[in-house]
C-alpha cells in the first residue's frame, strides 16, 4: 500500500469510505481518538434506549411475564444467530452465554470427552492468559488424566499427534495481532484425529471468518471487544452442527436442559447448541450485546477487513515516517498477517501510553512493554489515525511522558 | 397469630408497618399485585438512572478508563460486601460473580478437593433442579470418583457419614418453602468430617441468616429474586475465611488471578474470596444488582422476617376462611418453618395461575401442579394480600380459569 501521509490525503480516503455511515451508530466522546475498541468497544447510540426500555418496560411493567412476552428466554439463541453471520457459522451453531473463560472450560471439557484416550490439550505459550488458566484448572480437576502442553506457534503443526485431544488457540493473538491459519491448522489437527477449539475474541467483528468452510469444530468469543456489547458483555460459544448431538459439557445447568421448566431431577441436554447454556443469563447484559452486534447490520466483514488494513497500515506508515526507530513493531508488518490491532514495544511503554491517554488518544498497555492500538473500522477514520500519530509525535519529541504523574500505575493497565 | 380478616384491619397493619417506607424504593406497575418477587424481584426506582449513568457516562465517555475511574474492577467485591450483611457473613467472605449454577460448580468442586478420599456429594431429591444438574455434571466429569447421593430430608442427618465430602442443600426449598436448620445440619456435617454448601437463592433478602454463627463453610445465592437485581442478575459466592487460602476451584479465570494484568502464563489464585472470580463480569448487570441490594439499606432482616411471616400468614388465614379445602397447602403451616413464599397444589394449577395473572395478581406455576406466591416485605402490603385473595376467590367461584385461553402453555411457566 502506498499510504497518503498528509491529513488532506486521509480526508480524501475518508470521503470514499463505504463504512463512513457506521460512525453515526456510535456515541463517541468529544476530544477523544479511541484506539482501544479491541479491548472495550465504544457505546452504540441505540444501547441506552434499549436498556431503558428493557428496564422500565419489560422488567418494570412486564415483570416475570417478560420471559415470554419480551422474548427474554430466546435471547441467547437469537443473539447467537446474529453473531453467526459475522463468523461464517450456521445460525443454529452459536449461542450467547456466560463469559469467554467459562465457555472455554465447557468446550475444552467436551472436547476431551469426545476424544477418550488422548491425554494432551495443545496450546501455545503466551496465549491469552485466561485461556491457559482455564485449561490448567481443567487439567487439575481431571487429576492428571489430561495435561496442557504448550509449544511455540511454529512447532504446533508437528506437535499434533495421536496424543492430542484438542488444539486450543486464539485466532488473533491478543498482543501481537498475529493471525493463525484457521483452515490449515484445523485440517492438520483433524488429520491427527484431534479437535480444534478457537478463541475468536480478537477476531470477531475484526476480520472475516469462515468457520463452516474451515471445518472448525468448536469456538468461543468475546462480546465486549469489536462486538461493542459493553463492559463484561456475555460471550458466545460455537459448536459445529455435527458435534452438537454428542456434546456433553460439565456445566450442565438448567437453561441447557431439554425441558428446564419440567423441574425434573435428572439432567437431559437440550437438542442442539442450547445444551451449552448453563444458568439464567443476564437480560440487561444480553440487551446491550444485541445492540452492539446490530452495529454490524448491513456491513460486510470484507469491507471491515479492507478498512482495518488501510487504517493500521496508515498508522505504521506514519510512524515509520515521523518516528523512525523509536518503537519496535511487535505485530506483523504485512497487514494480511495481523488482526485489527497493532502492538509496539518500548521500554517506557507505560508512561508513554499514560501520556497519550491524557492527551485524548486512548490505547492500552500490556505488560511488560507493549503499547496496543486497535483500529475499529466502524467508528474510526483515516484522519483520526493521522491526528493520533501527530499527538504521539508531540509526546515523544517533547518527552511529555516523563512527567511523574504518568508513572503511577492503575489497577487495570 | 390472630390475623385480621377485613380490609380495614389490613390497612391498620399497614399503617403500623415499619417497612412501609421501602415500597417507594420500587417502580411498581399500576393494577398489579406482584407475588412473584421470589422468582424475579421488582424494579428499584434507582436502577434505570444508575444504568443510564453507567452506560452513557462511564462506558460512553470514560470508555476503557472506567475500569479504574468508575471502580468497575472492584465491583464484585464491593457488591459482595453489601450482600454479606444480609446473610450474616464477613464483608471479605462474599463475592459477586457468574450465575448460581456456575458458582455451585466451583464450590462443589472445591469442596471435593478439600476432602480427598470421600466420594459422596449428598443432597436431596427435589432440590432445585439446576443444583442437581450441576452436581451431576461434576460427577460425570470426575468419572466416577465422586457420586451424587440424594436422600429425603428426614434422612439426611443419618446419611452424613465418613464417605460424604460435602452436603449440598437449598436453605429454603424453591417450591415448598421449607427451611433447613442451617446451624444444626452444618454441625452434623462437620462432626462427620464433611463440608456444607448452602444454596441461599430463596433465602437471601427473605429471612435473616447467620452464616458466621452457623459455622457455614460454603454458599451460593441468586441476585434476581429477593435482591431485586434484575432478570438474570449475577449471583454470589460465600467462602468462610478459614477455607479461603486452601480453596482451589477449577474455573480459574483471569479475574481470579493474583495479578490478572501481569499476563503471565501460569495461574496463581488471588488472595481471599477473589479467587472465586473467573471471567470479566458484566458491569451493567452488576450495576443493576447493586441497586437491588441497596433497596435493603437501613432495613434489618429481622423486620423483613416479621413482616414476611405476617403477610404469608394472612394469606393462608384468608384462604382458609374464604376458600376452605380448595387448595392443598404444600408449604409448612407454621410461618417459622417456611421462607417467604407459599405453595399451593391444585390439579388445575396452571390455568388458575394464568387466570390470576390475567386479572393482575402475578404469582407463578411450578410443574406439576404448584401455584407459588411470594411475599416480599419491601414492596407488599397487607391490603395487597387481602386484595389478591379477593381476586382469587372470584376466579374460583366463577370458574374463570376454565376459559380456554388460560390452558395455553407459555415457554416459561
pLDDT tens digits for range A205-236: 999 999 999 999 999 999 999 999 999 999 99
| Single residue among B278, B294, B310 that ends a domain in this structure | B294
Contact between A59 and B231 under an 8 Å Cβ cutoff? The reply is: yes
Residue A1 lies in a domain: no
Q: Which residue has the cell 428499584?
A: B44
- Strand-strand pairing, B236-239 and B218-221: antiparallel
**Is it the case that residue B3 has pLDDT exceeding 80?**
no
Cross-chain residue pair A264–B129, CB shorter than 8 Å: yes
In terms of domains, do A235 and A314 share one? no
Residue A373 lies in a domain: yes
The Cα of A333 is separated from the nearest Cα of chain B by a number of Å equal to 24
**Is it the case that residue A37 has pLDDT exceeding 50?**
yes
In terms of domains, do B273 and B169 share one? yes
Closest CA to B83 of B196, B219, B185: B219
Residue B82 lies in a domain: yes
Handedness of CA B384, B390, B391, B396 (dihedral sign): positive
In terms of domains, do A267 and A318 share one? no
Q: How far apart are CA B67 and CA B203, in angstroms?
A: 32
Residues in chain A: 413
In terms of domains, do B360 and B220 share one? no
C-alpha cell at A69: 412476552
Tell me if chain A has a CB within 8 Å of the CB of B366: yes
Q: Which of B102, B281, B410 sits opposite A68 (nearest CB)?
A: B410
Contact between B103 and B222 under an 8 Å Cβ cutoff? The reply is: no
Say which range, A7-21, A240-254, B3-17, B185-199, has the weakest mean pLDDT. B3-17
In terms of domains, do A242 and A384 share one? no
pLDDT of residue B2: 55
Is A368 exposed, middle or buried, given 0-12, 13-18 or 19+ CB atoms closer than 10 A? exposed
Instruction: Write the pLDDT tens digit of every residue in B324-351.
Output: 999 999 999 999 999 999 999 999 999 9
Chains A, B: CB contacts within 8 A come to 289
In terms of domains, do A268 and A316 share one? no
Residue A242: CB atoms within 10 Å: 10
Tell me if chain B has a CB within 8 Å of the CB of A281: yes
Tell me if chain A has a CB within 8 Å of the CB of B130: yes
Can you say how many angstroms the Cα of residue A54 is from the centroid of all Cα atoms in its chain? 26
Cross-chain residue pair B278–A102, CB shorter than 8 Å: yes
pLDDT of residue B1: 47
Contact between B208 and B305 under an 8 Å Cβ cutoff? The reply is: yes
**Percentage of residues of chain A with pLDDT beyond 90:** 96
CATH number at residue B320: 3.90.1150.10
Residue A412 lies in a domain: no
In terms of domains, do A120 and A235 share one? yes
Instruction: Write the pLDDT tens digit of every residue in A130-177.
Output: 999 999 999 999 998 999 999 999 999 999 999 999 999 999 999 999
**Percentage of residues of chain A with pLDDT beyond 70:** 99
Count how many domains chain A has.
2
**Is it the case that residue A12 has pLDDT exceeding 50?**
yes
Residue A413 lies in a domain: no
Instruction: Write the pLDDT tens digit of every residue in A43-83.
Output: 999 999 999 999 999 999 999 999 999 999 999 999 999 99
| Single residue among B294, B329, B344 that ends a domain in this structure | B294
Q: Is the peptide bond before B279 cis (omega within 30 degrees of 0)?
A: no
Instruction: Write the pLDDT tens digit of every residue in A83-94.
Output: 999 999 999 999
Q: B209-212: long-range contacts at Cβ-Cβ below 8 A with a sequence spacing of 24 or more? A: B209/B86, B209/B87, B209/B88, B209/B171, B209/B182, B209/B301, B210/B88, B210/B183, B211/B87, B211/B88, B211/B89, B211/B93, B211/B182, B211/B238, B211/B240, B212/B88, B212/B89, B212/B90
Residues of B annotated as part of the active site: 128, 199, 224-225, 372
Could you report the predicted ipTM of this complex, rounded to two decimals?
A: 0.97
Q: What is the mean pLDDT of residues B365-393?
A: 97
Instruction: Write the pLDDT tens digit of every residue in B75-84.
Output: 999 999 999 9
Average pLDDT across chain A, whole number = 97
Q: Which residues contact B338 (CB under 8 A, 6 or more apart)?
A: B172, B176, B177, B178, B179, B312, B331, B332
Residue A325 lies in a domain: yes
In terms of domains, do A114 and A206 share one? yes
DSSP label of B57: I
Q: How far apart are CA B227 and CA B219, in angstroms?
A: 16
C-alpha cell at A151: 509449544
**Is it the case that residue A409 has pLDDT exceeding 60?**
yes
Beta-bridged to residue B26, according to DSSP, are: B44
Q: Where does the pLDDT of residue B409 fall: very low under 50, low under 70, confident under 90, or very high at 90 and above?
A: confident
Tell me if chain B has a CB within 8 Å of the CB of A191: no
pLDDT of residue A348: 96
Q: How far apart are CA A133 and CA A104, in angstroms?
A: 10
pTM of the model: 0.98
Residue A219 lies in a domain: yes
Tell me if chain B has a CB within 8 Å of the CB of A119: no
pLDDT of residue A1: 46
The range of the structural domain enclosing residue B36 comes to 7-44+300-407
In terms of domains, do B161 and B266 share one? yes
- The pair phi, psi for residue A111, each rounded to 5°, is -65, -45
pLDDT of residue A2: 55
Tell me if chain A has a CB within 8 Å of the CB of B408: no
CATH number at residue B69: 3.40.640.10
Contact between A328 and A343 under an 8 Å Cβ cutoff? The reply is: no
Question: What burial letters (b/e) apply to A298-337, b meaning 16+ CB within 10 Å?
Answer: ebebebbbbbbbbbbbbbbbbbbeeeeeebeebbbeebee
- The pair phi, psi for residue B333, each rounded to 5°, is -75, -30
- The pair phi, psi for residue A9, each rounded to 5°, is -65, -35
Cross-chain residue pair A249–B99, CB shorter than 8 Å: no
Q: Which of B67, B265, B288 sits opposite A132 (nearest CB)?
A: B265
The Cα of B305 is separated from the nearest Cα of chain A by a number of Å equal to 23
In terms of domains, do B249 and B314 share one? no
Q: Which of A127, A250, A364 sits opposite B141 (nearest CB)?
A: A250
The Cα of A250 is separated from the nearest Cα of chain B by a number of Å equal to 4
Max CA-CA distance within chain A?
69
Residue B84: CB atoms within 10 Å: 21
In terms of domains, do B197 and B87 share one? yes
Q: What is the mean pLDDT of residues B387-406?
A: 96
Residue A110 lies in a domain: yes
| Single residue among B274, B294, B314 that ends a domain in this structure | B294
The two counts, helices (H) then strands (E), for chain B are 14, 13
In terms of domains, do B75 and B208 share one? yes
pLDDT of residue A146: 97
Residues of A in contact with B99 (CB under 8 A): 98, 253, 278-281
Pick among A62, A63, A362 to test the B interface (most B CBs inside 10 A): A63
pLDDT of residue B412: 80
Amino acid at each position: 500500500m502506498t499510504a497518503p501521509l498528509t491529513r488532506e490525503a486521509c480526508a480524501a480516503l475518508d470521503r470514499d469510505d463505504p463504512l463512513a455511515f457506521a460512525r453515526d451508530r456510535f456515541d463517541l466522546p468529544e476530544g477523544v481518538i479511541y484506539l482501544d475498541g479491541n479491548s472495550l468497544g465504544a457505546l452504540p447510540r441505540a444501547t441506552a434506549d434499549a436498556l431503558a426500555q428493557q428496564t422500565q418496560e419489560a422488567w418494570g411493567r412486564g415483570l416475570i411475564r417478560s420471559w415470554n412476552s419480551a422474548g427474554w428466554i430466546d435471547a441467547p439463541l437469537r443473539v447467537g444467530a446474529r453473531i453467526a453471520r459475522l463468523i461464517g457459522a450456521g445460525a443454529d451453531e452459536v449461542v450467547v452465554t456466560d463469559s469467554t473463560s467459562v465457555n472455554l472450560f465447557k468446550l475444552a471439557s467436551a472436547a476431551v470427552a469426545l476424544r477418550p484416550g488422548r491425554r494432551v490439550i495443545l496450546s501455545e505459550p503466551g496465549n491469552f492468559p485466561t485461556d491457559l488458566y482455564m485449561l490448567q484448572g481443567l487439567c487439575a480437576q481431571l487429576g492428571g488424566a489430561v495435561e496442557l502442553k504448550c509449544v511455540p506457534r511454529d512447532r504446533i503443526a508437528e506437535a499434533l499427534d495421536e496424543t492430542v485431544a484438542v488444539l486450543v488457540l486464539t485466532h488473533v493473538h491478543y498482543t501481537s495481532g498475529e493471525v493463525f491459519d484457521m483452515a490449515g491448522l484445523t485440517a492438520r489437527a483433524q488429520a491427527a484425529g484431534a479437535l480444534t477449539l478457537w478463541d475468536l475474541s480478537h477476531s470477531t467483528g475484526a476480520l472475516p471468518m469462515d468457520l463452516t468452510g474451515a471445518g472448525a469444530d468448536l469456538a468461543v468469543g468475546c462480546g465486549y471487544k469489536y462486538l461493542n456489547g459493553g463492559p463484561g458483555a456475555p460471550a458466545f460459544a460455537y459448536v459445529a452442527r455435527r458435534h452438537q448431538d454428542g456434546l456433553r459439557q460439565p456445566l450442565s445447568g438448567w437453561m441447557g436442559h431439554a425441558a428446564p421448566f419440567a423441574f425434573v431431577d435428572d439432567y437431559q441436554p437440550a437438542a442442539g447448541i442450547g445444551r451449552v447454556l448453563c444458568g439464567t443469563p443476564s437480560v440487561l447484559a444480553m440487551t446491550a450485546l444485541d445492540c452492539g452486534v446490530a452495529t454490524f447490520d448491513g456491513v460486510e466483514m470484507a469491507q471491515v477487513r479492507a478498512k482495518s488494513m488501510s487504517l493500521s497500515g496508515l498508522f505504521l506508515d506514519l510512524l515509520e515516517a515521523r518516528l523512525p526507530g523509536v518503537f519496535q513493531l511487535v505485530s506483523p508488518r504485512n497487514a494480511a498477517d495481523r488482526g485489527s490491532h497493532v502492538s509496539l514495544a518500548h521500554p517506557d511503554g507505560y508512561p508513554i501510553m499514560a501520556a497519550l491517554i491524557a492527551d485524548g488518544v486512548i490505547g492500552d498497555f500490556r505488560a511488560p512493554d507493549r503499547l496496543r492500538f486497535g483500529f475499529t473500522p466502524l467508528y474510526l477514520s483515516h484522519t483520526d489515525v493521522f491526528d493520533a500519530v501527530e499527538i504521539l509525535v508531540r509526546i515523544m519529541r517533547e518527552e511529555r511522558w516523563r512527567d511523574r504523574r504518568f508513572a503511577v500505575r492503575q489497577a487495570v493497565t
